[in-house]
Amino acid sequence: MTSTAAIPLADPALADRLTARLALVEEALRDTVAHADALADDASRHLVNAGGKRLRPLLTLLVAELGDGARREVVDAAVVVELTHLATLYHDDVMDSAPLRRGAPSAHEVWGNSVAILTGDLLFARASTTVAGLGPEAVRIQARTFERLCLGQLHETVGPREGDDPVAHYLQVLADKTASLLATSARLGAMFAGCPPAVVSTVTEFGERIGVAFQLADDVIDLTADGSLTGKTPGTDLRERVPTMPVLLLRELCASPDATDEDRAVLALLDGDLTDDAALLTAVAALREHRVVALTRERAVALAMDAVRVLDPLPEGPVKSALVSFADALVDRAS
């Protein structure tokens, strides 16, 4: 179900170590979400059993290779970040009315909104129990991360205030909703592997920057990829009026004197009634062919390159090479 394919690894020994440790994380995840209550157990296991890239715990394990990656605390930290991520997915799918997650029906489609929300809360409670065993500093980091996750969702929900730049507002939403947890994944991995503070700071900044690039790449993929491969329904964000970078760039363009009739026609499709599946497919197809998708991809590339430059102080070796390859692969997947 999981592999190190989410982060390209050219070094076989490193790949073997991470594969073995990721198996420990997977086992710990299943043990941690288990409940005596049958409903809580089924609902909590729903997304764990659906699999996924396990990108956040893998980043934790990879960064820990800059120190002593064999410490048990590193595995526990990896469990914490994945449980936190899974908890947010239960909540996000309710707020976005997403019918699919990882190729399976979303939890709210199976059990309803209330059960899905409460299951997300249960998973975060289990994450909190695990992080408590890692000490007060880890608890503080987890709390601040969860605060940013909530603020990101809040600001996405209410949108920019009057006078705010919608694009800048969206980038801050991405920093809070996505980048904060990737930054914490890298930070905890380095911390509990005993890395020096300068290394911890470097990988945390890498996680922050790559997180925004990752989500911008996802904005492109959501429009251009086959839904049967991504496990998501294309156009869900459009239907639910959730802003994405291509839509924001199109709105910005249409507000300028350089807008063409074609630009305005695409925006009219997006602002129309998308409850009908055929109308949604038409809108997705039109936006997919518009140049704002290429502009979004360019922003993702630029941010990924910034993230790579952050890694300059790290020692040369397979871990740094893997992080650089990850940044490159992130951009390639949106091509």
How does pLDDT run across 66-99, given as a tens digit for each residue?
Answer: 999 999 999 999 999 999 999 888 877 777 666 6
Q: What is the pLDDT of residue 2?
A: 42
* Domain chopping of the chain, boundaries: 13-323
Higher pLDDT, 335 or 189: 189
* Rounded-to-integer distance, Cα 255 and Cα 91, Å: 33
User: Which of 37-41, 46-50, 207-211 has the weakest average pLDDT?
Assistant: 46-50
pLDDT at 145: 97
119: tokens are 């299951």
pLDDT value at residue 233:
67
How confident is residue 48, by pLDDT bands cut at 50, 70 and 90? confident
d(CA 68, CA 194): 6
Which residue type occupies 304? A
In CATH terms, the fold of domain 13-323 is Farnesyl Diphosphate Synthase (1.10.600)
Decide which of 53 and 293 is more confident: 293
- Paired with 302 in beta bridges are none
Which residues, in sequence order, are bridge partners of residue 104?
Answer: 101
Over 50: is that where the pLDDT of 184 sits?
A: yes
| DSSP 8-state code for residue 274 | -
Residue 234 pLDDT grade (very low, low, confident, very high; cuts 50, 70, 90):
confident
In the chain, the percentage of residues whose pLDDT exceeds 70 is: 93
What's phi and psi for 100, nearest 5 deg? Answer: -125, 150
- Which residue is it, tokens 């070796």? 317
- What is the per-residue pLDDT across 255-284, written as a single tens digit (0 to 9) for each? 999 999 999 999 999 999 999 999 999 999
Q: Confirm if 42 and 34 have CB atoms less than 8 A apart.
A: no
Residue 1: pLDDT over 90: no
Residue 3, pLDDT > 60, answer no
- Cα–Cα distance between 205 and 175 in angstroms, integer? 11
pLDDT at position 283: 95
Mean per-residue pLDDT for 212-237? 80
pLDDT tens by residue, 116-156: 888 888 899 999 999 999 999 999 999 999 999 999 999 99
Rounded to 10 degrees, the C-alpha dihedral 220/224/225/231 comes to 70
Which range in 6-15, 49-58, 83-92, 178-187 is most confidently predicted, on average pLDDT? 178-187
Bridge partners, 105 (sequence order) = 100
Q: Is the pLDDT of residue 303 over 70?
A: yes
> How does 76-100 read in b/e, with b if 16+ C-beta sit within 10 Å?
bbbbbbbbbbbbbbbbbbbebebeb
pTM for this predicted structure: 0.91
Q: Which of 209, 233, 332 is nearest to 281 (CA)?
A: 233
- Is the pLDDT at 53 greater than 90? The verdict is no
Output the CA torsion 13→18→21→26 (10° steps): -140
